[in-house]
Amino acid sequence: MNQSPFKFLDSYTKEDKDIFFGREAEVEDVYTKVFQGKILLVYGASGTGKSSLISCGLANKFQDSDWLPVEIRRGININDSLRQQLQKIMLTPVATSKNISFPKLLKSIYLDHFKPIFLVFDQFEELFIFGDREEEEKFIATIREVLDSDLQVRFIFIIRGEYLEYLTDFEQVLPEIFGNRIRIEKMTRTNAVNCITGPCQSFGIEVEEHFSDNLLTKLSPSKTEIELTYLQVFLDRIFKKASEKAKEGKIVFSNTLLEELGNVGDVLSQFLDEQIELIPDSEKALALLKAFVSTDATKKQISLRQAAEFVKTIGQELNEKQVDILIQELVNRRILKDKDEAGRYELRHDSIAAKIFEKITTYERDLLEVNQFITYAFGEHDKRNFLLNESDLAYIAPYETKLNFPGPVREFIEKSKTAVRKKKRSRKQFYAVLGVISILLLTSVFGLVYSQKQKSESDRNAALAKEQSAEALNQKEIAEQQRVIAEQKQQEADKQAKIAGEKQQEADKQARIAQEQSSLALIQKQEADKQRQLANTLRANAEEGQRSALAEKEKADAAKQEAEKFSKLAEKNSQLANQEKDKATRFRMLAIAQAMGAKAAQLQDRDQKVLVAQQAYLFNKQYNGYPFQPDIYNGLYAAYEAVNSDKFNTTSLHQGAIKGLISLGPNIFITAGADGKIIKTDLNTDPPIVTTIDSHPYVFQCIALSQDKS
């Protein structure tokens, strides 16, 4: 079969530049913004092509020598994934790279490559869906540490718009997190046409006139914006159909072909249902796909073992081998991505995850939530030795027999149950002891009370008659008071009922008025529409010829003005871009020169030291750097010392070591030594001319020359 120019649900990469169309303006915006701050936030709805915009669009704006992109997904833990990705691109191994701080690790990588480093965090919402507070706080601290180090490192965060609010937790430590951001909108119909015709032109596919417009109308009849995921899936279906009909290898996208495909509907659901039905055991395949969906209806990465455990949880008996066979079938059918370096699989796109989530029953969602709760609780147990409490165990109890937990998690649950039982027993024992003590106290008190009771019994009987008489009078007064209160409440109730009736009448009146006004407004609108239609018809008949000619002239004038405007704007933007690019190139080359000077001082190989130091000096000079920059001359001094170490340190210039050296020109040096002398040496004569410029009673540590060389 012919190779398709469409990416289906996969993201575009740098190698796809010849088929990446429709996002030219956004690429320019991102390229401009990436230099406006150390952090760039790229956000938008799912399926707007955010990842492709960076991995293909932005990547092709840079020369390979201008940036070093490092793509990071959260994986199991975002901090561990970041370190793993950085270790992969290290050229100079660091013995303690597992424990070394991120700024030191990034500095070593920069000295290896001499390129600005761009850390691209894709699917960044996964940190908030699957991560915990400790993981977030550690990550935030790492970003702050790197930003404060003044390294040539920039951050790009790609995140779905609905998770943007979670980044407010970053603001206290990273107040600049929202300062430089860009929202990626859904694609317009005009740009969507370019997404169709551009790749077809690159692959020599013939596109009939009006085909693109008809396709977009069929795909989205009433909207001005296009769902890219639906467009890519539909284009993939069209390409397969056109390939089957191709004559003599010529593929044609025709309007007839479009009609043969019928109504579009929900192309993503259709694709998913069709592929699942083609699998022999479709019920088990659907059950397996549910394992790859989070409780937030997003995709999640899991291993073969985790997938096998999940299907058992929802009542499907499959062993790991059967699950592996089903996973490979789903990979071949382009529903799942093949496993990554960590052995994890995931759905090809969040849009598929959303469709699968719709097929998950309420009971299965409860199981997912309980499973996620236990997984998080077990992680907390590993970190802080926390156990489930009585209410936690009651929450998971209805689902416990259905969930197939691995051994360590099962032990954690049983350990929690044991702790709760011990707590209950301790509580019962406490209450039992408390009861015994209470009985003893009551027994001792009872004797004293009884004797007092006998004495006071006669007094109480005497007073009882008197109290009953007073009580009768009191009850009479209370009854009278209650009667008065009842009358007052009845009066208040009547008053409130009257007010309520008046308000109801007023409300009915206002409702009638509103209904009458609404009817009147509708009649007036209908009459106005009728008059407007009549006026439009008369004006159209009278001015049709004149309007047509005038419209064409205005279109031509407008097009000319717009073209001139955009030409001037493009020229201005080009000049600004070239100026910024030249400035950025100069700063980058000067930074490289300084880094090379520092690197030369660290290198052990003599020839490499000399070559790197010389190149650092030439770069600095070529790009108008400060001629006496310390890193450059430290590198030159180190190279000079490496080449002439024996001769230089045994010369009679100084007593003891030479502590510093600067150059006044070819073969003319000024040295400062441990003996406190400053000596000028001219090696252009034979013998060399040696002049002592100054002498001090203390040891020099370094020497530098002023800009006027005085």
Nearest Cα neighbor of 83 from 92, 159, 74 is 74
Residues 148 and 277 both lie in one domain: no
Residues 70 and 165 both lie in one domain: yes
CATH number at residue 178: 3.40.50.300
Please say which residue of 140, 156, 185 terminates a domain: 185
Please say which residue of 136, 168, 185 terminates a domain: 185
- Cα separation, 153 vs 72, whole angstroms: 14
pLDDT on residue 165 = 92
Residues 305 and 167 both lie in one domain: no
CB atoms < 10 A from the CB of 24, how many? 12
Residues 49 and 158 both lie in one domain: yes
Domain membership of residue 478 (yes or no) is: no
Residues 171 and 286 both lie in one domain: no
Domain membership of residue 199 (yes or no) is: no
Do residues 48 and 185 lie in contact, with contact meaning Cβ atoms separated by under 8 Å?
A: yes
- Cα separation, 327 vs 22, whole angstroms: 34
pLDDT on residue 191 = 93
Residues 75 and 176 both lie in one domain: yes
The parts of the chain modelled with pLDDT lower than 70 are 1, 95-97, 264-265, 382-383, 402-406, 427-436, 438, 440-498, 500-504, 506-528, 534-535, 538, 541-542, 545-546, 548-549, 607, 643-652, 666-667, 707-710
Domain membership of residue 249 (yes or no) is: no
Do residues 619 and 596 lie in contact, with contact meaning Cβ atoms separated by under 8 Å?
A: yes
Residues 175 and 282 both lie in one domain: no
Do residues 610 and 637 lie in contact, with contact meaning Cβ atoms separated by under 8 Å?
A: no
pLDDT on residue 366 = 80
Q: Which domain holds residue 310?
A: 267-360
Instruction: Please tell me the number of Cα atoms within 13 Å of 473 on its side-chain side.
Output: 5
Nearest Cα neighbor of 350 from 285, 301, 286, 283 is 301
Residues 181 and 318 both lie in one domain: no
pLDDT on residue 34 = 96
Domain membership of residue 226 (yes or no) is: no
Nearest Cα neighbor of 309 from 408, 225, 381, 236 is 408
For residue 288, count CB atoms less than 10 angstroms from its CB and return exposed for 0-12, middle for 13-18, buried for 19 or more: buried
Tokens of 529: 């529409």
With the C-alpha atoms ordered 87, 93, 98, 103, is the resulting torsion angle positive or negative? negative
Paired sense of beta strands 225-226 and 187-188, if any? antiparallel
Q: Which residue has the tokens 């409702």?
A: 511
pLDDT on residue 428 = 67
Domain membership of residue 370 (yes or no) is: no
Please say which residue of 185, 206, 234 terminates a domain: 185
Tokens of 282: 């479709």
For residue 168, count CB atoms less than 10 angstroms from its CB and return exposed for 0-12, middle for 13-18, buried for 19 or more: exposed
CATH number at residue 307: 1.10.10.10
- Cα separation, 357 vs 293, whole angstroms: 7
Nearest Cα neighbor of 83 from 68, 69, 64, 70 is 70
Residues 169 and 43 both lie in one domain: yes
Residues 79 and 175 both lie in one domain: yes
Q: Which residue has the tokens 């997190």?
A: 177
Tokens of 263: 């109504």
Q: How many structural domains is the chain composed of?
A: 3
Domain membership of residue 465 (yes or no) is: no
pLDDT on residue 548 = 67
Tokens of 324: 């592996």
Residues 178 and 271 both lie in one domain: no
Helix (H) or strand (E) holding 41: strand 39-44
Do residues 226 and 220 lie in contact, with contact meaning Cβ atoms separated by under 8 Å?
A: yes
Residues 292 and 168 both lie in one domain: no
Domain membership of residue 54 (yes or no) is: yes
Domain membership of residue 480 (yes or no) is: no
